[in-house]
Chains A and B, each alone.
Chain A
Amino acid sequence: MNNILTVQNLIVRRGGVKVLDIGALNVQESRILALIGPNGAGKSTLLLTMAGLLKPDQGEMCYKNRPVKSSADRSRMRKSVCVVFQEPLLLNTTVYKNVALGLKFRSLTNGEIRKNVEDALDYFGISSLAGRSAKTLSGGESKRVSLARAFALKPELILMDEAFNSLDPPTRETLIDDLRHVLEETKITAVLALHDREETLRLAQDVTVMSEGRLIQSGATAQIFNQPDSEFVANFVGTETILEGTVKKSNAGLMEISIAGKTIEAMGNYPPGQDVYCCIRPENITVLQDTPEKTSARNTFKARIQKIVRQAFFYKMILDCGFPVVAYVTVSSCDDLGLCEGSTIIASFKATAVHVMKREK
């Protein structure tokens, strides 16, 4: 894999305070990288730096194997890297002229500009808006225009800051699908600052988790979600259940871990006596009324429903199996089973669904 952009030992200060301290970050060509982390983690600052819009106080950055040092380097780099900000930042003119803005800064003929603008409008399904005044657009339409404006430039790298913030859910849903489609089709490398796990799962191929200006963990999306290497990452990627335990037995990749006096089975090779975290993603827990006669799930516990919280399309249940476990149950199966707070049920999960992390004392 080729790295289109690499960053090393990058430090950015604001008002004397270190807001960014990045050891190393590589952006691979034609892949979609998500920067995730809570607000104030430094995602936006990192994006601005990577876009050549912010001069770091220290550190090296290479764009396509060429060092980016001077302001001339940054300005050259900006011709092929484009940022899409959180707010649409449209000019008070027509949609067409907004999308044409960046093209006008490049010496293109009117015909070329027209073609690129039309293509970009088409990508985001907003060709019909071309003649509209940008001031009359809805939030979702504005966002599409601002994305089209960036994609019209056919940049090599596109950086997006919280692209879906402040959009209503249906608008967001369709925009995520469309964006993924456009990214797949154009093969443009993208870095997305996100803070929503679902968006991350749906868009990103790679994930870097940030906190307080530092990188916490980087890897493929599946790896980050299934094997967080710290409690912080686990929490952030939405592993709802994180249990503290100690390895009792370990044999050929299968471990028995004792948690609050109970025992669960999990995959892994930690030696007995090792203190660990066990992470179980809620969607991997099955809730049943009776103990199934045949199941491949190694872990089956009797549990009492402590609390039911209604989410968008499912119920989030906090179960007490002797240790707390969080499970998601669809609305229909919840109704079918007649579940309510205080009911007793069976919770089961596979050994492979348990992600075990080392726990330092």
Chain B
Amino acid sequence: MELIVQGIIKAFQLIFSFDPEVLGITWLSLKISGTATFISLFIGVSIGTLVALTNFPGKRIVISIINTGMGLPPVVVGLFVTIIIWRSGPLGFLEILYTPYAMIIAQAIIATPIVMGISLASIQNLPPNLRLQILSLGASRMQMVWVLIKESRLPLLAAVMAGFGGVISEVGASIMVGGNIKGYSRVLTTATVMETGKGNFDIAIALGIILLLLAFLVNLLLTQIQQRQHPR
């Protein structure tokens, strides 16, 4: 109990003294997970929308694959990304193992199916005649798709939340492909694991609190936007 209290006190000291190392780790986490989420948003929304709006043989199978992908275990992603990008792997020439880029790739792979699955479901959930109605109002196909995406912005925001929340709190893949290199690929989760291992519970708790705070702030921001859609 004393340990926890001490840890929390130390944690707040670290946070409010703006410890440069803690700040650096936090900023890096935000950059890596933010970029990964952004990439997954692009890929996920475009493919999700495409699958939702077109009919082709095997569509059900594709949807099942996407839904399975929503639960991809991060360590499995980490493992495969490692195998592909290590020196002897097919993409070894890129030399990106143990870099933030590798972490972004792995995190984007984790987040993309989440975003894709949610955008697919949300576009499919729109009334079927809505597409025809928009076309009938004189929209081109691209305009129609854009209106549909805008119309499902709430679930898409939820997708962003889920994707970002998933990757910023993910540790398995990050430590495998990033290597937890100090000042370079050390993020909140991998640092938390390391500090726990070292027995520095105070720092670990501080990092954990920052992680929670970050997740809370991001969700607060997005919920704020969501609430604006429903005045009163």
A contact set with B: CB distance below 8 Å = 48, 51, 53, 75, 78-79, 81-83, 85-87, 89, 91-92, 101-102, 105-106, 133, 135, 149-150, 153
Contact = CB atoms under 8 A, between A and B. Distances in A.
A48 B132 contact: yes
B130 interface: yes
A101 B151 contact: no
Interface of B: 127, 129-130, 132-140, 143, 147, 150-151, 154, 229-231
11 contacts: A53-B132, A53-B135, A82-B137, A83-B132, A85-B132, A89-B130, A91-B150, A92-B151, A101-B137, A149-B137, A153-B138
B133 A89 contact: yes
Given A92-B229, A135-B230, A85 B138 contact: no
Contacts of A89: 127, 129-130, 133
Contact of B136 (A78, A86, A91): A78
B203 to A, nearest CB: 45
B136 A82 contact: yes
B140 A75 contact: yes
B151 A51 contact: no
B151 A102 contact: no
Given A92-B151, A133-B231, A135-B230, A79 B138 contact: yes
A91 B137 contact: no
A131 B150 CA distance: 19
B86 to A, nearest CB: 47
A165 to B, nearest CB: 13
B220 to A, nearest CB: 22
Given A92-B154, A101-B134, A105-B140, 20 more contacts: A51-B136, A53-B132, A53-B135, A78-B136, A79-B138, A81-B136, A83-B133, A85-B132, A85-B133, A87-B127, A89-B127, A89-B129, A91-B151, A101-B147, A102-B138, A102-B139, A105-B138, A105-B139, A133-B230, A133-B231
A223 to B, nearest CB: 31
Label chain A's interface by main secondary structure: loop
A150 B151 CA distance: 19
Interface of B, helix, strand, loop or mixed by DSSP: helix
Residue with the highest number of chain A CB atoms closer than 10 Å, among B136, B139, B150 = B136
A78 B133 contact: no
Nearest to A91: B151
A284 B230 CA distance: 54
Nearest to A161: B129
Contacts of A78: 135-136, 138
Contacts of B150: 91
Contact of A53 (B127, B136, B151): B136
A133 B231 CA distance: 8
Nearest to B144: A105
Given A92-B151, A133-B231, A87 B138 contact: no
Given A87-B129, A89-B129, A91-B147, A102 B137 contact: yes
A105 B231 contact: no
Contact of A85 (B129, B140, B147): B129
Contacts of A133: 230-231
* Residue from the set B129, B151, B230 with the largest chain A CB neighbour count within 10 Å: B129
B151 A106 contact: no
Contacts of B127: 87, 89
A82 B150 CA distance: 22
A133 B232 CA distance: 10
Nearest to A82: B136
A43 to B, nearest CB: 14
Contacts of B151: 91-92
A149 B154 CA distance: 23
